[in-house]
Amino acid sequence: MTETREFTLKDNYANPAPLGLFAFGMTTILLNLHNAGFIELDSMILAMGIFYGGVAQVFAGVAEGRKNNTFGYTAFISYGFFWISFAALLIMPKMGLVAAVSNSSLVAFLTIWGVFTSLLFIGTLKSNVALQLVFGSLALLFFMLAISDYSGNEQLKVIAGYEGIICGSLAIYTGIAQVLNELWGRVVLPLGNVSRNEPSGHTSE
């Protein structure tokens, strides 16, 4: 007779999504405080973009890959390198390595990220409402900034800045909700209804 054995692999890894959400949310708020006209675009924002919005999100994405979460893996690593590339767009011309980015190139940069975010937004329809709001508002932000740069409408850029602050705040809320809900073992901060087939790395309610 052939003996059949079943093995269950236990996931002992922490949920990396809050780290990625905080890194994304906090950096997004700081950049959009600049877009809204409150602060200058200086080394503080660039440093946050490289190390927290960038490197920390890449770490979170790699951890999501270990948890077999394709969505989290794709999103966090992509947006991590978005922040690094955004910082590079500003730093490399200052170092004399490349010419400064043209307005048309910046519009193309923002537009393609808006398209990418819109495609990921479709994926969030299988997840919680909080994540849907994060990706929906982020897609809108990219397109608003692209239109602002294309048209030269500074007022639209200011409005986009306020919308970006909201987007970043939604990401922070989603991150802290996952942390607190896990710590308390119950819903402390609601995330909205989710699919029963939600990938690992996101907290179900």
Whether the pLDDT of residue 194 is over 50: the answer is yes
Q: Give the mean model confidence (pLDDT) for residues 180-192.
A: 96
**The pTM is what?**
0.89
Question: pLDDT tens across 104-147, in order?
Answer: 999 999 999 999 999 999 999 999 999 999 999 999 999 999 99
pLDDT at 33 over 90: yes
pLDDT of residue 204 exceeding 90:
no
C-alpha–C-alpha distance, residues 159 and 145, integer Å: 9
Q: How confident is the model at residue 193 (pLDDT cuts 50, 70, 90)?
A: confident
What is the rounded average pLDDT of the residues 6-34? 88
pLDDT of residue 13: 84
Instruction: Sketch out the chain's domains with CATH numbers.
Output: 17-184 (1.25.40)
pLDDT at 154: 96
A 10 A CB-CB count for 151 gives 11
- Over the range 47-84, which residues count as b (16 or more CB within 10 Å of their CB) and which as e? ebbbebbbbbbbbbbebbbebebebbbbbbbbbbbbbb
Q: What is the distance between the alpha carbons of residues 178 and 191, in angstroms, rounded to a whole number?
A: 8
